[in-house]
Amino acid sequence: MSAFAKTENKTFSRALVVGANRGLGLAFVERLLEHGIAEQVFAGCRNPANAHALEELRQAHGDRLHILPLSVTCEDSLSEAAEELETKTKSLDLLITCVGVLHDEDGLKPERRLRDVNAANLHKSFAVNAFGPLLVARYFSRFLPRRGHCVVANLSARVGSIGDNRLGGWYAYRASKAAQNMFTRNLSIELRRSARDVVCIALHPGTCDTDLSKPFQRGVPAEKLFSPERAVRQLLDIIVDLESTDNGRFIAWDGRNVPW
């Protein structure tokens, strides 16, 4: 029996992690490989030539890791990555999308008030945070098996919860995550028509010590700021135990539901 033989839902045969260059995506790839949670991992990232940490993992794990160039804001690249994937495998039983943007060097930053809102930043946030995971599903859902347990997990954020919004602000990030959540919920319904046993969920990882949250970590108590390794361990503990009835949930790092 292979070291990766499935015991209930505990391991996966082939996983695709999108947004794998750094942060939580990179930590997912690392843990999936190093803990034998996936037999083979495909890592989607924008610029493989600069993906040094991924390249190190590839050297350590050989054929178990394959790096796919793609950008979620370029449909052609998604289509080409899916074609490349097809030359390697016909099926994926784990698809995790970790892309996200909250701030960047070109002036995107979370709005404190209405007058900080501008169309360019709304477009950028929606393109990555909302449309990104949907387009990933559009191009890669055909790899999900018609029968048999498989998981689609989209990294969301509690601030995308409409019911939980008491502070306001962060218009673009909040609304793009709320839209992402609607897309994920829609997917959880439609994907079942072609992949009968899929479990499709949105995940809130908690506040994690990555580039995305760096400028906003002041005031976060140390015990509530998770290292990427800890965050991913907590999320994978949830992912490996998912059951059919979890389809369509929005789940936080502690296993509790987040209100939509």
Determine, following the binding rule CB under 6 A, whether residue 211 of this chain makes contact with ligand NAP: yes
Determine, following the binding rule CB under 6 A, whether residue 212 of this chain makes contact with ligand NAP: yes
CB of 135 to ligand NAP, least distance (A): 10
**Residue of the chain from 32, 57, 67, 98 that contacts ligand NAP (CB under 6 A):** 98
**Residue of the chain from 99, 137, 200, 201 that contacts ligand NAP (CB under 6 A):** 99
Both tokens of residue 27? 């930590």
Determine, following the binding rule CB under 6 A, whether residue 213 of this chain makes contact with ligand NAP: yes
CB of 198 to ligand NAP, least distance (A): 20
Q: Give, as ranges, the residues between 56 and 75 that touch ligand NAP (CB under 6 A).
A: 71-73
Both tokens of residue 257? 């539901």
Residue 136: CA atoms inside 13 Å, Cβ hemisphere, count?
33
Rounded CA separation 111/203 (Å): 23
Cβ closest to ligand NAP, residue 45 vs residue 178: 45
CB of 148 to ligand NAP, least distance (A): 27
Residues constituting the chain: 260
Determine, following the binding rule CB under 6 A, whether residue 46 of this chain makes contact with ligand NAP: yes
CB of 90 to ligand NAP, least distance (A): 24
> Which residue is nearest to ligand NAP, using beta carbons?
23
Q: Which stretch binds ligand NAP (CB under 6 A): 23-31, 60-68, 111-119, 242-250?
A: 23-31
Both tokens of residue 170? 């962060």
Q: Which stretch binds ligand NAP (CB under 6 A): 5-13, 61-69, 206-214, 239-247?
A: 206-214
**Residue of the chain from 14, 15, 17, 23 that contacts ligand NAP (CB under 6 A):** 23
Contact 64, 58 (CB under 8 A): no
* 154: Cβ contacts below 8 Å, ≥ 6 apart: 96, 97, 133, 180, 183, 184, 200, 201, 202, 203
Determine, following the binding rule CB under 6 A, whether residue 164 of this chain makes contact with ligand NAP: no
Contact 99, 157 (CB under 8 A): no
Q: Which stretch binds ligand NAP (CB under 6 A): 32-40, 93-101, 194-202, 241-249?
A: 93-101
Name the 3-class secondary structure at 114.
helix
Q: Give, as ranges, the residues between 116 and 135 that touch ligand NAP (CB under 6 A).
A: 128
Name the 3-class secondary structure at 235.
helix
Name the 3-class secondary structure at 35.
coil
Phi, psi of 159 (to 5 degrees): -65, -10
**Residue of the chain from 11, 21, 40, 234 that contacts ligand NAP (CB under 6 A):** 21
Determine, following the binding rule CB under 6 A, whether residue 25 of this chain makes contact with ligand NAP: yes
* 205: Cβ contacts below 8 Å, ≥ 6 apart: 24, 155, 157, 226, 231, 232, 234, 235, 253
